[in-house]
Structure 1
């Protein structure tokens, strides 16, 4: 039986979207088959009366890590030791899978109908992706990278990324990852905020350029795009010169980097969410050292500057949260839209467009999802209020629909302390 979502106000995901009231969307077998005025007859349809509520494409989060919740701890965890523990026995591996399943489900219940994982543990991400596709578990559409590739002393080396000590090892790691049929390959080109040892070091180049080039060649030969963690101009330069398709986080951009982005047809993924708590929170709240807070501010300023320059030069910019980092939960994609609006000075409609149709295009799934159009997947986020007026309307979904499957008043476990601190910066 077809489902008719009647009396809805459509926000279609386009760049210049405007509310279209009193509309009906017909869904069949998980796809949109018609978009009509609500006066049309809906005989023999299952009818969902939305009573004027706002229906838009489900959000797309292009940068998440499933193994952690985002709930902060007072002391930084040794990620390498923790991963060894979680993969040491059948019981611990089952616990790990359960954590990742819960993270994926939380993304969905918050209104995110598609996620892109960019660093996980072993091949857990692709297994969860496949279980969702087979209907065995509940979750969003997943584009999964599994483990990333790093170098000794590099970002997430030994935890969410393999350590490659040579060009041959780096290429071999990519080949091993490909065996589990991921959707993309992730490289850790520079250091990050939490692993920096001195002020001004968060984006220090770690991966040699020839490693980046070799990994990209192996990945592209097998048809996989490459995403790269890069938090400095030097890191972005190495990424672009050697074949990376999406630069994650980014930095301030000069004319050369702008030209390279355009020549390589690469995209920049904006992630303000993980930098903001480190850069702006009181150190007693973030549990950051002076060095970490300084570097967090460097990264946050670089991301915002780079994104502004990219948009001014028509370089595609996508959005992701880096969910799993401290104070970055799996239910707060809406906050990234708010930060994008507040710090990059884009309109609410442009922020919503970026998190839906633009993100879908960057992820090469623009023909599948990202907008309300006939033939696309029935991936909807339905809210009481109009996010074009106030993006916080996205905070509490009335209903989430993924491939036609509905979740009304979705329930999410939230962390009150995290909510209270983050709300101060809206």
Structure 2
């Protein structure tokens, strides 16, 4: 593996109170950051390739906590997506095509500066196959933490898309055991409904999964050493998830004092975290329902979910609860290259500082995954997961939109190419919040 010496860079190390460190050298050897120090006194191994980054910024690769790799983000209805997935998963050629699609989307994440991805529901355990291929060096890609197929209930969110149905606690345990047999890294639960599921105005995030089924899935996952993440979009669902011992609450809803206490000491006796996902909710608020393939009822419910996600993130930050960031890629208008938008939303809508937003998208997210000692910051001994930027994101987080170089576990892409969906970009840019 090639060794690298990045010289004269301004380093943003990913720590919570990070400040620009100018004129620094970062030495990468065998895929690991070997040294970080002043350019005048830091040298690399003999034969290393030197890259002068004068005027550029070197930061940790981003970590995206909430991704479905099966879709591009082009708007479609949930029913149409489910019909397509049924056809694809049901035959060998379709499964090959699915793996090919997930590979391309994982590589889009990487080209956009995301060096670690957590998939939280993809059909046919195809994300596990892609993870294994990347880890084996068959093709480049981000570090992939894969959930495979999730656990839902009859009529529940994700049914027919990327979750198997459990009608009883024992069926939930069996699905978890199947995930373990497929070597998944975590188990995804779909505890409440979502915006597309809601049929009544004012009732998004209806509790679908019984406490008994949720508890059985979490207990089985814990027994097998697997973490859990749960789709939840109501306060009732947050309570059910935390009492079952879910590790990460995905999306969330406005919290009360009791829920905050449960977050800090949940049913499993561990501290749970919240994954903030403004990206999938905002288009429902800002765009005409015809564009998002939704109804007027779903638009109203989309606003309720959006406000709940933002409020929960604000409350969690104030209470010292770990908050992570993810995009929910594959949802309508959520591409595989827009993690930078979620980081911007975290600053401009949730109210985090730019330092906190960048820290959350790097080291903070890595810690939530249990990978904080491996990635997420520019420190000696950690994996060489790095991005090079032309502008300082601590001045404007939109600098993350254009990545000059990306390195994942020591493999460098000097000219990353993102295949953008121009029409979607124009519409999303139309309601991008202005800098504070």
Q: Which interval holds the TM-score relative to the shorter structure?
A: over 0.9
Within a 5 Å distance, the mapping from 1:335-346 to structure 2 comes to 335-346=341-352
Partner of 1:317: 323
> How far off its partner does 1:72 sit?
1.3
Partner of 1:50: 53
Partner of 2:63: 60
Contact 1:279/1:295 (8 A) holds in 2: no
Rounded to whole Å, the distance in 1 between the matches of 2:377 and 2:78 is: 40
Partner of 1:30: 31
Contact 2:192/2:233 (8 A) holds in 1: yes
> How far off its partner does 1:165 sit?
1.2
Rounded to whole Å, the distance in 2 between the matches of 1:140 and 1:98 is: 15
Partner of 1:222: 224
Contact 1:280/1:297 (8 A) holds in 2: no
> How far off its partner does 1:280 sit?
1.6
In structure 2, runs of 5+ residues without a counterpart are none
Partner of 1:72: 75
> How far off its partner does 1:44 sit?
3.4
Q: Aligned to 1:186, what secondary structure does the other structure show?
A: strand
Partner of 2:84: 82
> How far off its partner does 1:35 sit?
0.9
- Please report the TM-score for the alignment, with normalisation by the length of structure 1: 0.98
> How far off its partner does 1:201 sit?
2.2
Contact 1:320/1:333 (8 A) holds in 2: yes
Partner of 2:428: 422
Q: Aligned to 1:153, what secondary structure does the other structure show?
A: coil
Q: Aligned to 1:123, what secondary structure does the other structure show?
A: helix
Partner of 2:6: 5
> How far off its partner does 1:158 sit?
2.1
Rounded to whole Å, the distance in 1 between the matches of 2:204 and 2:248 is: 19
Q: Does residue 172 in structure 1 map to residue 174 in structure 2?
A: yes
> How far off its partner does 1:123 sit?
1.5
> How far off its partner does 1:94 sit?
1.2
> How far off its partner does 1:76 sit?
4.8
Q: Aligned to 2:278, what secondary structure does the other structure show?
A: coil
Contact 1:162/1:173 (8 A) holds in 2: yes
Contact 1:58/1:370 (8 A) holds in 2: yes
RMSD of the TM alignment (CA)? 1.1
Contact 1:63/1:323 (8 A) holds in 2: yes
> How far off its partner does 1:285 sit?
3.2
Partner of 2:292: 286
The alignment covers a number of residue pairs equal to 425
Contact 2:251/2:277 (8 A) holds in 1: yes
Rounded to whole Å, the distance in 2 between the matches of 1:339 and 1:282 is: 20
Partner of 1:203: 205
- Please report the TM-score for the alignment, with normalisation by the length of structure 2: 0.96
Within a 5 Å distance, the mapping from 1:319-398 to structure 2 comes to 319-398=325-404
Q: Does residue 271 in structure 1 map to residue 277 in structure 2?
A: yes
Deviations 1:182-207 (A, max 9, x none): 11110000000012111122200000
Contact 2:75/2:291 (8 A) holds in 1: no
> How far off its partner does 1:47 sit?
0.3
Partner of 2:214: 212
Instruction: Tell me whether 287-296 or 265-274 shows the greater mean CA deviation.
Output: 287-296
Q: List 4+ stretches of structure 1 deviating above 6 A.
A: none
Rounded to whole Å, the distance in 2 between the matches of 1:284 and 1:85 is: 26
Deviations 1:359-418 (A, max 9, x none): 000000001000011100000011000000011111010000001111112111111110
Deviations 1:293-335 (A, max 9, x none): 1011000000000110000000000000000000000000000
Within a 5 Å distance, the mapping from 1:54-133 to structure 2 comes to 54-73=57-76, 75-133=77-135
Partner of 2:16: 15
Contact 1:21/1:52 (8 A) holds in 2: no
Deviations 1:113-161 (A, max 9, x none): 0000000112211111010001102210000000000000000112200
Contact 2:99/2:129 (8 A) holds in 1: no
